[in-house]
């Protein structure tokens, strides 16, 4: 499927590795159009032309914290494809495991910027276009530590609690059929997971591909059935989505 203005597509942030990367690959596997925002290694800010058939993935390379650059990339995307049917706020950093007061100030700043200010920025840039188009929703990839206080997760836990609050407030404000919900993927074997548990992981994490397979089926269903509003304000878990798939 190739995308055009007004057609369904998913926007994903943080597609350079981990869950975001696997999500984009899985959407590509279903030929579902996706706008993939990744940071490139050279800190270059590159804009590729829109994809032509049979490709339907539009890659944007830039640091998400560079709002001036994001503004211009989003202008280009919105002009060509319109607002996304679903924005997946996935990009995140985890710098510190330990008490907050031991975390380096620059890491606190970057964590709050990437994990909380970036989603708020994308919301403020996309929601007006979504309201005009009368479609679109936001899924914020959250974490257990954002839903219940837990010691020694530094500014990461605070940023994820902020994301939960961002989604809940947004859900109260968005007119139907727009929607917002959070989704906790649970343990996934990524770079972030290895940083969180460098020695022994207390869980058996899923592979990014297995998590992305479940999420992608769910996201595509939301986009193609306009089913998101029923989930407005919800706090979902990946396990629960998988169980519901098995019950069908």
Ligand X SMILES: NC(=O)c1ccc[n+]([C@@H]2O[C@H](COP(=O)([O-])OP(=O)(O)OC[C@H]3O[C@@H](n4cnc5c(N)ncnc54)[C@H](OP(=O)(O)O)[C@@H]3O)[C@@H](O)[C@H]2O)c1
41 or 247: CB nearest ligand X: 41
Q: Which residue, among 49, 14, 50, has the nearest Cα to 33 in the 3D structure? A: 50
- Cβ proximity to ligand X: between 10 and 135 the closer is 10
Considering only 188, 215, 222, 231, the residue that binds ligand X (CB under 6 A) is: 188
| Contacts (CB under 6 A) with ligand X, residues 134-163 | 141, 143
71 to 90: interface string for ligand X, x by CB under 6 A: -------------------x
Q: How far apart are CA 181 and CA 208, in angstroms?
A: 21
Query: For residue 221, which of 209, 231, 211, 206 has the smallest C-alpha distance?
Result: 231
Sequence-distant (≥ 6) Cβ neighbours of residue 44 within 8 angstroms: 61
Q: Distance between CA atoms of 237 and 234, rounded to whole angstroms?
A: 10
With CB under 6 A as the contact rule, the residue among 190, 212, 213, 219 that binds ligand X is: 190
List the one residue from 73, 170, 178, 192 that touches ligand X (CB under 6 A): 192
For position 242 contacting ligand X by CB under 6 A, the verdict is: no
The set of residues, in sequence order, having a beta carbon less than 8 Å from that of 232 and lying 6+ positions away, is 137, 171, 174, 176, 178, 179, 180, 181
User: Is residue 57 at the binding interface for ligand X, with CB under 6 A as the rule?
Assistant: no
Among 12, 64, 213, 214, binds ligand X (CB under 6 A): 64
Site stretch for ligand X (CB under 6 A), options 61-69, 128-136, 173-181, 230-238? 61-69
Does 93 sit near ligand X (CB under 6 A)?
yes
Alpha helices, H only, the chain: 18-29, 67-81, 105-112, 118-133, 144-147, 154-173, 191-196, 208-225, 238-247
Residues binding ligand X (CB under 6 A)? 14, 16-20, 38-39, 63-65, 90-93, 114, 141, 143, 185, 187-188, 190-193, 205
């Amino acid at each position: 499927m190739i995308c055009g203005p007004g057609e369904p597509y998913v926007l994903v942030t943080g597609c350079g590795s981990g869950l975001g990367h696997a999500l984009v690959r899985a959407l590509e596997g279903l030929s579902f159009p996706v706008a993939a925002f990744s940071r490139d290694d050279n800190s270059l800010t590159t804009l590729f032309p829109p994809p032509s058939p049979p490709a339907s993935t539009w890659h944007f390379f830039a640091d998400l914290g560079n709002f001036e650059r994001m503004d211009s990339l989003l202008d280009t995307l919105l002009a060509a494809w319109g607002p996304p049917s679903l924005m997946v706020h996935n990009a995140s950093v985890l710098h510190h495991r330990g008490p907050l007061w031991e975390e380096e100030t620059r890491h606190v700043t970057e964590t709050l910027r990437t994990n909380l200010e970036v989603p708020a920025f994308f919301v403020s840039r996309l929601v007006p276009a979504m309201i005009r188009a009368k479609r679109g929703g936001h899924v914020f990839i959250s974490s257990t530590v954002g839903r219940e206080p837990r010691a020694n997760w530094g500014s990461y836990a605070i940023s994820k609690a902020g994301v939960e609050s961002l989604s809940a407030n947004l859900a109260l404000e968005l007119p139907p059929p727009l929607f917002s919900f959070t989704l906790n993927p649970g343990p996934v074997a990524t770079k972030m997971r290895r940083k969180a548990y460098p020695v022994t992981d207390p869980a058996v994490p899923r592979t990014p591909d297995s998590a992305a397979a479940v999420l992608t089926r769910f996201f595509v269903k939301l986009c193609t059935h306009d089913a998101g509003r029923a989930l407005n304000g919800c706090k979902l878990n990946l396990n629960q989505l998988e169980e519901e798939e098995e019950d069908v």
